């Protein structure tokens, strides 16, 4: 009779050994399934970030720049014995001034729409500060462009009254190449340099 309990102990040990590997199998399988999901989320986030950067670059390139506009002006083909400020030259400068005024007006309207859209309050103080700083810089540039628009309108009026292209102080021809470099110029190079010298002497 003492041999029976020994058999039962061996069977109990065998059953516990068999049950142990069954519990360990699902624990190893669980982390393998969860790993690839995190990788796909990172890829999708990086793709969205690159898409936002590309759209931001595209919008920044569309913005108006004065230097680019002046560089894009096609020079007028001068002919020998051609009268200064004839009909063709007036049409050339009228087209330049009209296109310049249109671009400035588009920028003025764009800032007006931006003021209405960005009227919302920012919960974060740092976001609000950066937004206000960008907004003040943009308003300064638009104020400068507004003054430039008034000068362009004055130049258009001078074209209509046949006064465009002549110096306002001495009456000498300003020159076509100087007008193409600065279409709103009202003084020749000599008078402009003298004016700048007087301004430096007064204001330093």
Whole-structure pTM value: 0.61
Q: Are residues 129 and 185 in the same domain?
A: no
CA quadruple 180, 181, 185, 190: dihedral positive or negative?
negative
Same domain, yes or no: 176 and 120 = no
- Give the pLDDT confidence of 53-104 residue by residue, as tens digits: 444 333 333 456 788 888 889 999 998 889 999 999 999 999 999 999 999 9
Within a domain: 54: no
Is there a single domain that holds both residue 133 and residue 158? yes
Q: What is the CATH number of the domain that holds 116?
A: 1.20.120.910
Same domain, 127 and 174: no
What range defines the domain where residue 200 resides? 166-204
Tell whether 183 is covered by a domain.
yes
Q: Is residue 197 part of a domain?
A: yes
76 in Cβ contact with 176 (< 8 Å): yes
190 and 171 share one domain: yes
One domain for residues 179 and 189: yes
* Domain tally, the chain: 2
Picking from 173, 127, 182, 106, the residue whose alpha carbon sits closest to that of residue 151 is: 182
- Mean pLDDT of the 175-188 span: 94
pLDDT in tens, 107-154: 888 877 776 666 555 667 776 777 777 778 878 888 888 899 999 999
Give the residue with greater pLDDT, 204 vs 129. Answer: 129
Buried b (16+ CB within 10 A) or exposed e, 2-38: eeeeeeeeeeeeeeeeeeeeeeeeeeeeeeeeeeeee
């Amino acid at each position: 009779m003492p041999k029976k309990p020994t058999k039962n102990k061996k069977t109990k040990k065998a059953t516990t050994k068999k049950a142990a590997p069954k519990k360990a199998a699902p624990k190893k399988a669980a982390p393998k399934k969860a790993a690839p999901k995190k990788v796909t989320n990172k890829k999708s986030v990086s793709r969205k970030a690159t898409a936002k950067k590309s759209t931001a670059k595209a919008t920044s390139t569309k913005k108006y720049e004065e230097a680019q506009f002046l560089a894009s002006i096609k020079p007028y083909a001068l002919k020998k014995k051609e009268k200064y400020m004839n009909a063709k030259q007036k049409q050339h400068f009228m087209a330049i001034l009209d296109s310049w005024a249109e671009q400035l007006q588009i920028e003025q309207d764009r800032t007006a729409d931006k003021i209405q859209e960005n009227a919302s309050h920012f919960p974060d103080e740092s976001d609000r500060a950066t937004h206000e700083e960008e907004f003040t810089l943009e308003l300064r540039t638009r104020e400068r462009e507004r003054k430039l628009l008034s000068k362009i309108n004055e130049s258009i009026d001078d074209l209509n009254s046949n006064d465009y292209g002549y110096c306002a102080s001495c009456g000498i021809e300003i020159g076509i190449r100087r007008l193409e470099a600065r279409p709103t110029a009202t003084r020749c190079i000599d008078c402009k340099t003298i004016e700048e010298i007087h301004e430096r002497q007064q204001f330093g």
